[in-house]
Structure 1
Amino acid sequence: MENEQLDGIKRFYLLQTERVETYRLFDDGFQAYLKGAPQYNFPMYKKLVHEITTAFQKISADILTIEKMLLEHNRKDLADSIRKIQEFEERKLKLTAELQMMLQKQTDEPESEMQESINEHKNMVSEVISEINEEMDTLKYASEDLYTNMT
């Protein structure tokens, strides 16, 4: 039983690493898209967004399975941390999409007064990343018993 929980936590960390890599690919693709201004390659960007969305959906579905398993094993503490991380990740994705739209508008209309809003959004993304990291620490400490009971 604890082996299954430990495997779930380890799988969660791998999925989080995959999510971070997916964000990096998303940002790299967006930067390439912006460099094409004003003749944007929208079909390429649309395809990228579709692939990123699919990857995030798969990661989220896998994480929901882990959360459910932890609840079934009466580890509400671990499941709650994972749920909070999921909620923070959803917020981060929404803010990232909004930020990308602002950055494109600033590229298209350099005279627009977007910099303050862009900076605010960048700060909000940083705050959400900090919240994710804090909750990851909470999960780490809450799951320590699974590691120590394996020896």
Structure 2
Amino acid sequence: MSPNVTEFKKLVQRFYALQTERIEAYKLFEEGHEAYLRTGPHYDFEHYRQLVHEITQAFSGISKEVLEIKQRLHQDYDRPDLSEHIEKLQAKEKQKLELTAKLQLAKQNAQDHPEDEGCQEKIQEIRQDMIKNKEALSEILQDFKYDSEECE
């Protein structure tokens, strides 16, 4: 006996809600980093470190639940295609977080060394990588949406 369509839809909706939570967490992270940069040159690192801790916990909780959904889609609904999309998405989300951290460091470096033109180039390079990452994430989400709707 396979779980019903209503439960499947709820699971898919929860997945989308978690993606929205991730986007909100990134916004908070970005706003927090901008505020941190404004405290330079004598940075308020304690405050920023607390933000990083909270954001890390948020991302960890979201990832844990997304992985549970991935497992349920695979085992309870026999949808390895959807769980594979989630696996790809998780890898791209990990990359996005790494790129975000790199960008934040590069921005601080550029602020601390305004005479170094290489800093701006590094920022542009990371931003290009982030655009590619965002495009890949969008593509994976489109595939997930398409494949999850075909069984309705």
Instruction: Please give the TM-score of this superposition, normalised by the length of structure 2.
Output: 0.94
Alignment match of 1:92 (pick from 61, 76, 96): 96
Amino acid at match of 2:141: M
Q: Does 1:79 align with 2:100?
A: no
Runs of at least 4 residues off by over 6 Å = none
Instruction: Please state whether the residue corresponding to 2:150 is helix, strand or coil.
Output: helix
* RMSD value, Cα: 0.9
Aligned counterpart, 2:33: 30
Q: Is the CA contact (8 Å cut-off) linking 1:5 and 1:69 kept in structure 2? A: no
What count of residue pairs does the alignment treat as equivalent?
147
Residues 1:127 and 2:132 are matched in the alignment: yes
1:104: which partner in 2? 108
Q: Deviations over 1:30-53 (max 9, x none)?
A: 000001110211000000000000
Kept in 2: contact 1:103–1:118 (CA 8 A): yes
- CA separation in 2, counterparts of 1:30 and 1:130? 24
Partner residue, 1:69: 72
Q: CA-to-partner distance for each residue in 1:8-33, whole Å, 9 max, x for gaps?
A: 11100000000000000000000000
Q: How far, CA to CA, are the matches of 1:71 and 1:144 in structure 2?
A: 16
Q: TM-score, normalised by structure 1?
A: 0.94
The Cα shift of 1:117 comes to 1.1
User: Residue by residue, what CA displacement relative to the aligned partner does 1:30-78 show, whole Å, maximum 9, x if unpaired?
Assistant: 0000011102110000000000000000000000000000110210011
Q: Secondary structure, in 3 states, of the residue corresponding to 1:125? A: helix
1:13 aligns with 2:26: no
CA distance in 2, matches of 1:23, 1:145: 31
- Structure 2 stretches lacking a partner, 5+ long: none
Higher normalized contact order (CA 8 Å, seq sep 6+, divided by chain length): 1
Unmatched runs of 5 consecutive residues or more in structure 1: none
Q: Structure 1 residue 145: deviation in Å?
A: 2.8
- Percent sequence identity is 41
